[in-house]
Structure 1
């Protein structure tokens, strides 16, 4: 009887072990899949939490998001393109005067006519080295070859404003209205083709305008400009020292004076001394881009 009891206990033990082994084997893959599913859910929850955290941080500190937008902005958006507010205006006697309280009074304006002949680029480099601005008034007949077009483009790229001085330097008082318009508008078209913008200043040859040339300049959006004084076309001042002396020591020099010079060898040679002399007298060279043109 005892033998039978022991035998049954042994059989039951074997069956129990076999059943546990079967359950363990069949449950393995299911547990693995369940574990993978749980891991995926945990990962997704973690990602969602991270995203929420980033969104919350941007909401808390909008400056970071704005800074990011600036850093990732397209290059086409460029720097601040807002127009510079004018600080000076041209007077009836062709000098400039401040129209803003913060604008300096003791300034002078430099202008160079008949460019780009032979020395305009040299003069532009001198002014650039001296950190002095100027308007280069150009003639169209100097721009009829590619070399001179490149010179004009370089001058513009160096930061100098380009003005219209007519195509052929023809005396407008002796020209028909059709000729006057052609002298002005044809040059504006050419300048725009070279530098990508039309001039904002117009100076007639010899300073002689007509009612019609004034009308055309206005239609073209240009400010009429003559000058306060200039000397480099007079034979006695076709010399570096003589020209530098008169440009700085003339009695016509004063606040807002509009200085006329030309693309000439002696003027190019005297230019550095002229700028230095003006500054020694307490005058600053005004940026023509600050002059009101409309």
Structure 2
């Protein structure tokens, strides 16, 4: 005979089994066996605090190395390491809308890249030409703002000349210049130090065409052809005066260099 207390205990046990969905079922031998969980995604176990700290925040893999600082040199780079018959063509003082487009047209015709060391005051008025240089794969370097003799300026003056030009180049070209050339080839310790602080390497030249003296188209061509050699850096001009001889000379010697097996390229840095 069931007492009231036993009836209450039996009811409570039955209600508990219904609520949990019967986690076990009885077997004939009186033992219990597990029952498959209800349909749906399994519940995830919460991570421990230490496990949360192991989760990457911005991606996977090891963090990228910090960029190396630009070295401070005591002299400019005169030629570039090269494998085989590789040369570089560089043009100073522009861009000039009278001559630079013709030079760019010739380079594009032969699918050749060059380096243009621009003056800030010229670049500021001809930003479209810097944009074209970027679109066509040329390198743009810093040639100061107004082409002064740096050895006559103090550090503040040199920095201003460099910084103003770098700002214009970055705005029109899309990135700041990584190469610098001192006007007249007049380098000093301050120029090397300040250039490095702005992330620029000093690049000079190996072959000077002296085209700024307007010696004649044939003479410019001969100077380039006679000086051609692996790693050579050729200096010409696309501004600063009448550069029509330079334009015609490029049209003459460029196909000749290519026919001789030379590869015309741009300077590259092995770090950023």
Task: Give the TM-score normalised by structure 1.
Answer: 0.62
Aligned to 1:189: 167
Structure 1 residues not aligned, in runs of 5+: 1-89, 99-103
Q: Is the 8 A contact 2:142 2:162 kept in 1?
A: yes
Task: Compute the RMSD of aligned alpha carbons.
Answer: 2.2
Query: What are the Cα deviations for residues 214-251 of structure 1, in whole angstroms up to 9, with x where unaligned?
Result: 1111111111100001123363x532222112211x2x
Matched, 1:272 2:251: yes
Aligned to 1:231: 209
Question: SS state of the match for residue 108, structure 2?
Answer: helix
Over 3 Å counting, the alpha-carbon distance change for 1:210 and 1:195 in structure 2 is same
Matched, 1:95 2:74: no
- Shift of residue 105, structure 1, vs aligned partner: 2.1
Q: Is the 8 A contact 2:92 2:117 kept in 1?
A: yes
Aligned to 1:114: 93
Question: SS state of the match for residue 111, structure 1?
Answer: strand
Matched, 1:149 2:127: yes
Q: Is the 8 A contact 1:222 1:293 kept in 2?
A: no
Q: Is the 8 A contact 2:76 2:203 kept in 1?
A: no
Q: Is the 8 A contact 1:191 1:198 kept in 2?
A: yes
**Equivalents in 2 of 1:260, 1:119: separation in Å?**
16
- Shift of residue 260, structure 1, vs aligned partner: 0.5
Over 3 Å counting, the alpha-carbon distance change for 1:241 and 1:233 in structure 2 is closer
Q: Write the mapping of 1:123-202 to structure 2, written as runs, cut at 5 A.
A: 123-145=103-125, 148-202=126-180
Question: SS state of the match for residue 93, structure 2?
Answer: strand
Question: SS state of the match for residue 151, structure 1?
Answer: helix
Aligned to 2:30: none
Over 3 Å counting, the alpha-carbon distance change for 1:112 and 1:292 in structure 2 is farther
Q: Is the 8 A contact 2:209 2:234 kept in 1?
A: no
**Equivalents in 2 of 1:119, 1:112: separation in Å?**
11
**Equivalents in 2 of 1:92, 1:180: separation in Å?**
16
Over 3 Å counting, the alpha-carbon distance change for 1:143 and 1:287 in structure 2 is closer
Structure 2 residues not aligned, in runs of 5+: 1-72
Question: SS state of the match for residue 208, structure 2?
Answer: coil
Aligned to 1:86: none
Query: Alignment partner for residue 264 of structure 2, among 270, 285, 290?
Result: 285
Question: Is the radius of gyration larger for structure 1 or structure 2?
Answer: 1
Question: SS state of the match for residue 81, structure 2?
Answer: strand
**Equivalents in 1 of 2:81, 2:203: separation in Å?**
14
